[in-house]
Amino acid sequence: MTLETSKFALFVDLENCGAKVSTLLSVLEKVKIRGDVLLGKVYGYTDQYSDLKEVLLSNTFTVVPSLRYGISQKNNADILLVIDALEVAYTNPLINSFCIVSGDSDYTPLVGRLKSMGKFVLGISRSEAASNIFINACNEFQFLENVGGHTRKPEDKKKTSATDKEPLDEQELNKLIESILDEQTDQDELYASELKSILLRLRPDFNEKAFGCATFLKLLDKLSHKYGNLRIRNDNFNVMVSLGQAAKENGAQLTKDNWRDAFRDQLQRYKEGGFDRINPSILKADIQSAYPDFSERALGFKRFSDVLKALEKDKLLEVEMDEQKTMLIKVP
């Protein structure tokens, strides 16, 4: 039911991830839900990424500056990342998991070597820059467009300081717990103690007493009764927490009257997150996540590509093909 906490080494290719504060914070959140980050390195750092300094310092990242040697600059960063990752794999027995924030197929041999050593590899990348070879090589892969989408609110854009987080209110805490439970792809529930450990990795300042509860279990019970999206049960001497049926079924309805607004809002979120181009599969997955009953036919279309054509006609997006003849959506 519970797994030993993973110990991660996190390697970030800044050129690939877009190097925004919000993006890096979202990546950290995604990894910390899965385990402890023992080591972090970023590659390709230049003065243009100076707004990342506070995030990097507060999370003890090692910065590898960009080596400016013309067209070989990107290759230098790739080589350094591979060397560093292998060195960690061979010399640090505490680390059993690696997160590589890049979609470059050049890292595929590295992933293969790490997996052959029994390491878990999580890949994260923008959909437009993700190689299918790299995606399939990883044990798990996440697109940056999806990362951190559960807990980040539009009004949070002004909170770009990594060390100046405002205290969670009760509703935000409930949403964060829901996000953590929703991320558990290999199990339906968590031990309450494990859930609290994940919360502390994400928010070291978390304390149940700040919410008027003497214990974490009393806080969970309070949230369960108030919001109805958590299910708590006793398993012998252990307390298990999972998403209640109401949370799983609490999906909004997409209709012929509101579907354009729903797509427009989702595209706007991509744009605000710094994603100018995305893979159509990402857009469809995000719409299905927000509207579980989504169906092209229910909206009067045969295929998702027909939906895209209608949105393109309304000038909400542009459909492009990249060099590999892969369809991409450009957000105007």
pLDDT digits (tens, 9 = 90+) for 116-154: 999 999 999 888 888 889 998 999 998 888 765 444 443
| Nearest Cα to Cα of residue 198 among 44, 328, 3 | 3
- The predicted structure's pLDDT at residue 153: 41
Q: What is the CATH number of domain 6-158?
A: 3.40.50.1010
- Residue with the bigger pLDDT between 246 and 310: it is 310
Q: What is the DSSP letter of 213?
A: -
Asked whether the domain spanning 259-330 has the same topology as the one spanning 6-158, the reply is no
Is residue 69's pLDDT more than 80? no
- Tokens 């003849």 identify what position? 325
pLDDT in tens, 80-89: 999 999 999 9
- Residue with the bigger pLDDT between 312 and 292: it is 312
Q: Which of 236-239's residues contact partners 24+ apart within 8 Å by CB, and which partners? A: 238/191, 238/192, 239/191, 239/192, 239/193
Contact 150, 182 (CB under 8 A): yes
Is residue 253's pLDDT more than 70? yes
- End-to-end CA distance of the chain, in Å? 45
Distance, in Å, from the CA atom of 104 to the CA atom of 114, rounded to the nearest integer, reads 16
- The alpha carbon of 18 is separated from its chain's Cα centroid by a whole number of angstroms, namely 14
Q: Which residues pair with 327 in a beta bridge?
A: 321
Q: How confident is the model at residue 256 (pLDDT cuts 50, 70, 90)?
A: confident
- Tokens 């169906």 identify what position? 295
Q: How confident is the model at residue 246 (pLDDT cuts 50, 70, 90)?
A: low
Using alpha carbons only, what angle is made at residue 94 by residues 93 and 96, rounded to the nearest 5 degrees? 85
pLDDT in tens, 269-285: 888 877 888 888 888 88
| 164-178, 181-195, 204-218, 261-275: which is most confident | 204-218
| Nearest Cα to Cα of residue 192 among 239, 227, 243 | 239
pLDDT in tens, 26-35: 899 889 999 9
- The predicted structure's pLDDT at residue 149: 47
Is residue 110's pLDDT more than 80? yes
- The predicted structure's pLDDT at residue 185: 59
* CATH top-level class of 170-245: mainly alpha
- Tokens 């492009």 identify what position? 320
Q: Which amino acid is at 262?
A: A
- The predicted structure's pLDDT at residue 63: 92
The CATH architecture assigned to 259-330 reads: 2-Layer Sandwich (3.30)
Is the alpha carbon torsion for 77, 100, 137, 113 positive or negative? positive
Using alpha carbons only, what angle is made at residue 102 by residues 155 and 39, rounded to the nearest 5 degrees? 80
Structural domain boundaries of the chain? 6-158, 170-245, 259-330
- The predicted structure's pLDDT at residue 250: 55
